[in-house]
Amino acid sequence: MTTLKGIAWNHTRGFVSVVACAQRFEELHPDVTIVWEKRSLQAFADASLAELSAAYDLIVMDHPHTALAATDGLLLPYEDWLSAEFLADQAANSVGGSHESYRFQNKQWTLATDAAAPIATWRPDLLEAHGLALPQTWEEVLDLAKHGFVTVSAFPIDMLMHGYTFCAALGHAPFTGDCVAPDDVLAAALTELRKLVSLCDPACLERNPIRTAEWMS
């Protein structure tokens, strides 16, 4: 009997799916047992990959760790275990650049099981109840925020991502030069984000996107 240990993150999206897959895999391969553990979303982003790879056989990780995994030999490339056809199918059917974000030095170090992207969400029932229209411009978003109808996921790591998104909205794709973005673009992006956050409940500073969605529901 072979027992494999895995580490995921503690949300339905990140944990239940891999547990279900493990159960089915064990049915097909009764000589293998897969035991999944979970860590917080913050630890998912920050935990040492070296420590995790020493303790676990399977790791659900975030894409910024990919280069470290490759250069320090912490993970095995999937080309050693999966067919080229399977990997091509993953590349063709993953969301956006998810699959490519786990590729480094012409090797695939992780499969994309989940994708995070900036989106706007809203409650149609509340908009209708208050006679409000869905905002179509940034200025309209700020106007709604002035009246208490807007929140934002303003947890620090999420604000960093919002900053990148705003740089792109202002016409400068981040990291395309020798810096994240020109100083004037960064300043303009931060100014707009500050406008929004200053109009929202301070509790938004403690909520990541998942907590925000759950709070809205």
pLDDT value, residue 117: 78
143 shares its domain with 94: no
Would residue 140 count as lying in a domain?
yes
Residues 132 and 102 placed together within one structural domain of the fold: no
Asked if 104 contacts 66 with a C-beta cutoff of 8 angstroms, the reply is yes
DSSP SS3 for 99: helix
- Select the more confidently predicted residue: 42 or 134: 134
User: Which residues touch 161 (CB under 8 Å, ≥6 apart)?
Assistant: 118
Least confident span in 4-8, 112-116, 140-144, 151-155? 112-116
Task: Work out the pLDDT band at 118, boundaries 50, 70, 90.
Answer: confident
CATH number at residue 93: 3.40.190.10
The domain total for the chain is: 2
Q: What is the pLDDT of residues 156-201, one digit of tens each?
A: 889 998 999 999 999 999 988 888 999 999 999 999 999 999 999 9
Residue 168 lies in a domain: yes
Residue among 213, 206, 210 nearest 13 (CA): 210
Nearest CA among 215, 216, 217, 213 for reference residue 13: 213
Cα gap 163→173, rounded to integer Å: 11
Residue 118 lies in a domain: no
Has residue 40 been placed in a domain?
Answer: yes
Q: Give the chain's length.
A: 217
Answer yes or no: do 29 and 102 share one domain: yes
Rounded average pLDDT over 32-56 = 88
Q: Is the distance from CB of 207 to CB of 156 less than 8 angstroms?
A: no
For residue 142, what are the domain limits?
124-216
113 pLDDT exceeds 90?
no
Q: Is residue 47 part of a domain?
A: yes
pTM: 0.72
Same domain assignment for residues 94 and 162: no
Which pLDDT belongs to residue 97?
86
